[in-house]
Amino acid sequence: MGLVEQEVSAEASFVAPDRCVLVVVDVQNDYCHDEGTFGRAGVELIAIQHAVDRIVRFVDVARGARVPVVWLRTEHDGWTNSPAWLTRDVRTRAEICAAGSWGAEFFQVRPRPDECVITKHRYSAFVGSRLPVVLRTLGRPTLLVAGITTNVCVESTARDAFMRDYQVVLVEDCAAARTKSEHDGAVHNVRTYFGRVLDSAAVAARWAAASAA
């Protein structure tokens, strides 16, 4: 077996469906809907909304491959908005994903009753949430990470997953940021330092091949 064939075989093993968990980050109205906080602030949402369309399709593929789907959502309120936290993000001063608000609701995705939904209060879902316990319970070593935005909550969660010895895959076409340069920078960081980068079609093909085998 040549070097290229060995790399393809290793990658296929890496994303075997019985090794994977799909983590979907912050597909919420305030980030994705035209009337949400980003939209009202003038953020161009075409790339984000296209990524959501691909997330919807990829989640169905994951379900068909029996890959667990874990949904992350951001919520903020007076109990978690520390003075340091409130100094973040000079481009969007408005409240975002306030607890119990329409803006915090999911955008065009619908978790199933048997899927895990985890609320987080910081960029990384490993900070102050039950995600670490859920992942230990699932006992799967590879985390496929998708969602919004690539360079903030997606990358932060991917970095922290790598630091906890998970094998990380960024599903590139199922993630987006406010600008292409921010998305591309996050993709570079993950690919270079924290894991692998694949698109949803490549992952789906490997899952289909595993099922056929």
Distance CA 205, CA 61 (A): 10
Beta strands per DSSP E along 13-53: 20-25
Distance CA 167, CA 43 (A): 32
Active-site annotation, residues: 26, 120, 153
Contact 22, 68 (CB under 8 A): yes
Cis peptide preceding 37, ω within 30 of 0:
no
Give the three-state DSSP class for 57: helix
Task: Tell me the residue length of the chain.
Answer: 213
| 175: DSSP letter | E
